[in-house]
Structure 1
Amino acid sequence: MNTFAIVTDSSCDLPESLAREIDLTVLPLAFVMNGREYYNYLDEREILLHDFYEALRVGQPCTTSAVNVDAFVSAMEPLLKQGRDVLCIAFSSGLSNTYNAAALAVEELAQKYPERKIYAVDSLCASLGQGLLIYLAAQERSKGKPIEEVRDWVEKEKYHLCHWFTVEDLQFLKRGGRVSAATALVGTMLSIKPVMHMDNAGHLINISKARGRKASLRALVDRMEQLAIQPEEQTVFISHGDSLEDAQFVANEVQSRLGVQKPITINYVGPVIGAHSGPGTIALFFLGKER
């Protein structure tokens, strides 16, 4: 058993097998579709992610619900009862109240278990960016580093965790207030795709535009070319909104252009983020000189 537990929420979008491999405790976040509440378990036990995106494609509305502090308490308390310390790395406060709920839960549990070390970190990350930060933190833990050192490593390295992504359908960003109705209309008519990233405050920022799908996908790799630290040695993650072929195209570009040697992890963008970014979203995650 690891010396301390790492806890997160399902916006990390890690493959269930990988989360299990690194001994990760994952709190499933909730969303509502067609009047029914679902929990986003990494193993897709309540809804297959392909089916989720098919529902979005035919116009099914999806809303995400607030995170309950008690849910974090319920996830962390059994670990504390086992005598383990807990490091919770949560979904960006720039996009969700998830971190705030985690921090309140940690405050409550710290009073109840004063002998244990319990910390909450705002990842300022989302999707497999959050997943990559957690995966790398687990590698630091595996080196035998104490919980405080791993916490401090996460606090520092989160500002180097690059998130670059594009979307296929601007209407989803329009509904979420990320682009204006006029931008969405013109962009759709001219096949203009946004190239976006997550800034140091954990907010999604529109950086540039590309004409056509393939150009937007290559633009993500261009950004990695500009920013990545020792790209040939990088661990790279890619997430997609039910668009595996395009994710594999980006992976191939990353390997051929930047000489990345390690296998690239590809997985779905989960429902909590996918509801706002839509089918066809492609996101590329790596460590860089800056975000």
Structure 2
Amino acid sequence: MTIQLTTDSGADVPKHLQAARDIKVVPLFVRFGEEQYKSEDFTTKDFLERVSTGKVFPHSAAPSPQDYYDTFKAIDPSHPIIHISLSSGVSASYNHAIMAKTQLLEEEPGREMYLIDTKSASSGMILMLEDAVQMMEQNASAKDIAHHLESRVPYLRTVFLLETIDNLISGGRLSRAKGAIAKTLNVKLILHASEEGKIDVLEKVRGAKKAHRRFHELIGEYIKDPAEKVFVMTHGYAKEKCDNALDKVRARYPFKHIHQAETGPVIAAHAGKGALVMSFFSDLSHEEKK
């Protein structure tokens, strides 16, 4: 049975992987004042250039329930759908996908559909998609894959190291109070997707060099044996910086597979140029780590 994977553009799945694995992507939107564009209308380079030269700060917006409905409806009814969603903690995307699923199942109750709230974004969503693809290659059923992915969400870690937190503050993803403290004390914030899927401060580190060192050290505190695990890192139009970071990861942690991708405009709107976002599955769940 053919299983159809779908996601949204918060996932930052490169186009060649979308094509190779037949992943359908529902685009989010970016807004500059009254102007709205699909995220796919920009390259990350062009988007960041507009941000740096423009006077209006961009905001992201979720696809409408109709956008999801149209995507789901167009898929062969005999193909089970597994949708990997941007965190409900930062976007209405997941809730809109739920609305679309409800409507479609009222019309076509025989459909098999599973929606996964990853409580993550960018590299974390890529990691979940990779997990799904591996199980599909082993001929697992859609139900088993969906159950597995749901069980993995509490173990998913997504950690951010940004060049600037101005975008997060302007976009309302980080409080101005936390931002002001960081700037005043020359503190670099290491951020993460919390248990609720919101962007929160994981650690505060003095100085950029110490922050980068701590960024890599954290992996070892979450994983004892990375040999059978997959690691994903995305970057905000900073491939050389990402390459250097991954060289350090490879030297220290023998992951089974390492994937790299560039953040799209949606994530770049919040994380900014030069951001590094890494994801992996921790040995302990959020609850167990407390």
Same fold (TM over 0.5): yes
Q: Helix, strand or coil for the counterpart of 1:116?
A: coil
Matches within 5 A, 1:106-255: 106-181=101-176, 183-188=178-183, 190-228=185-223, 230-255=225-250
After superposition, the C-alpha distances for 1:87-129 in whole angstroms (9 at most, x for unaligned) are 1121110111100011111111112122221222212111121
Report how many residues are paired: 284
TM-fit CA distance, 1:217? 2.2
| Contact 1:170 1:187 survives alignment (8 Å) | no
How much has 1:229 moved relative to structure 2?
Answer: 5.3
Deviation of the 1:9 alpha carbon: 0.5
Uncovered stretches (5+) of structure 1, i.e. residues with no partner: none
Q: Contact 2:8 / 2:25 at 8 angstroms: preserved in 1?
A: yes
- Given the superposition, is the C-alpha separation of residues 191 and 269 from structure 1 closer, same or farther in structure 2, using an over 3 Å criterion? farther
Q: CA deviation at 1:56?
A: 2.4
Contact 2:86 2:94 (C-alpha < 8 Å) held by counterparts:
yes
1:99 aligns with 2:94: yes
2-side partners of 1:182 and 1:29: how far apart? 29
Matched, 1:56 2:42: no
For 1:7, give the aligned amino acid: T
Q: Which range is displaced more, 232-241 or 101-110? A: 232-241
The letter for the 1-side match of 2:100 is A
Q: How far apart are 1:173 and its partner, in Å?
A: 2.4
Matched residue, 2:23: 24
Q: Specify the code of the residue in structure 2 equivalent to 1:74.
A: D
- TM-score between the two structures when normalised by the length of structure 1: 0.90
Flag the 1:65–1:201 CA change in 2: closer, same or farther, 3 A. same
Aligned partners of 2:21, 2:253: CA distance in 1, in Å?
A: 27
Q: Distance in 2 between matches of 1:109 and 1:150?
A: 21
Task: Give the Cα–Cα distance (whole angstroms) in 1 for the partners of residues 248 and 184 of structure 2.
Answer: 27
Structure-1 separation of matches of 2:212 and 2:66: 40
Residue number in structure 1 paired with 2:273: 279
3-state SS of the aligned residue for 1:115?
coil
Shift of 1:230: 2.6
Deviation (angstroms), 1:205: 1.5
Counterpart of 1:283 in 2: which secondary structure?
strand
Contact 1:89–1:122 (CA under 8 A) maintained in structure 2: yes
Determine the C-alpha separation between the residues in 2 that align with 1:177 and 1:30: 17
Structure 1 segments of 4+ aligned residues over 4 angstroms from their partners: none
Displacement after TM superposition at 1:232 (Å): 2.7
Q: Structure 1 residues 201 and 185 mapped into 2: Cα distance closer, same or farther (>3 Å)? A: closer
2:61 corresponds to: 65
Range 167-176 or range 140-149, more displaced? 167-176
Contact 2:222 2:282 in 1 (8 A): yes
Identity of aligned residues (%): 26
CA shift, 1:208, in A, is: 0.9
Normalised TM-score (structure 2): 0.90
Distance in 2 (CA, whole Å) between partners of 1:77 and 1:265 is 31
TM-superposed deviation, 1:246: 2.1
The answer as to 2:24 corresponding to 1:4 is no
Q: Supply the distance in 1 between the matched residues of 2:281 and 2:45 (Cα, whole angstroms).
A: 29
Equivalent position SS for 1:80:
coil
What's the CA shift for 1:136? 1.1
How big is the alpha-carbon RMSD for the aligned residues of Structure 1 and Structure 2?
2.0
Q: CA deviation at 1:141?
A: 1.5
Question: 1:232 is matched by which residue type in structure 2?
Answer: A
Letter matched to residue 29 of structure 2: A
Q: 1:80·1:86 contact (CA, 8 Å) conserved in 2?
A: no
Unpaired runs of 5+ in structure 2? none
Task: Give secondary structure in 1 for the equivalent of 2:147.
Answer: helix
Letter aligned with residue 19 of structure 2:
R
Pair 1:78-2:74 in alignment: yes
